[in-house]
């Protein structure tokens, strides 16, 4: 892979991280970690679409790397999910924690599948 792909991935990661940070403004009260779950769903959908586009040769390996690893990787966040879970458990919000973890997994995988299916159907 060429050097430009690594630079593009670094820039894409910054773009994805800024988008994830911006989603935090959606919930000032932080009653439920909606910004994190939304970032993970969007990142999963993007990565599913990128993988499908790479499989169908719509994206070069360099672009797939830059968009998948860079943008989708910068947007989605396992570390924020983990910290949200620890904080929610500390606050004894067990039912909300269980819903959060389940929703993140199910919706994230569904979004990845939807992104993949959409690109596959359009190509």
The pLDDT assigned to 24 comes to: 83
| Torsion over CA: 91, 96, 101, 104 (sign) | negative
DSSP 68: I
Q: How many CB atoms lie under 10 A from the CB of residue 52?
A: 23
- Please tell me whether 76 is known to bind a ligand: yes
Tell me if the pTM is above 0.85.
Answer: yes
**Domain layout of the chain by residue ranges:** 3-122
SS3 31: coil
Per-residue pLDDT for the chain (123 aa), expressed as one digit of tens each? Answer: 789 999 999 999 999 999 999 998 877 677 788 999 999 999 999 999 999 999 999 999 999 999 999 999 999 989 999 999 999 999 999 999 999 999 999 999 999 999 999 999 998
């Amino acid at each position: 892979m060429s050097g430009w792909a690594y630079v593009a991935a670094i820039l894409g990661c910054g773009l994805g991280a800024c988008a994830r940070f911006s989603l935090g403004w959606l919930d000032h009260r932080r009653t439920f970690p909606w910004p994190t779950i939304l970032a993970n769903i969007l990142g999963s959908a993007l990565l599913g679409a990128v993988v499908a586009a790479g499989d169908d040769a719509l994206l070069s390996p360099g672009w797939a790397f830059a968009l998948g690893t860079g943008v989708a990787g910068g947007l989605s966040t396992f570390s924020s999910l983990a910290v949200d879970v620890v904080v929610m458990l500390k606050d004894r919000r067990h039912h909300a924690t269980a819903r959060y973890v389940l929703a993140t997994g199910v919706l994230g995988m569904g979004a990845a599948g939807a992104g993949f299916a959409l690109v596959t159907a359009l190509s």
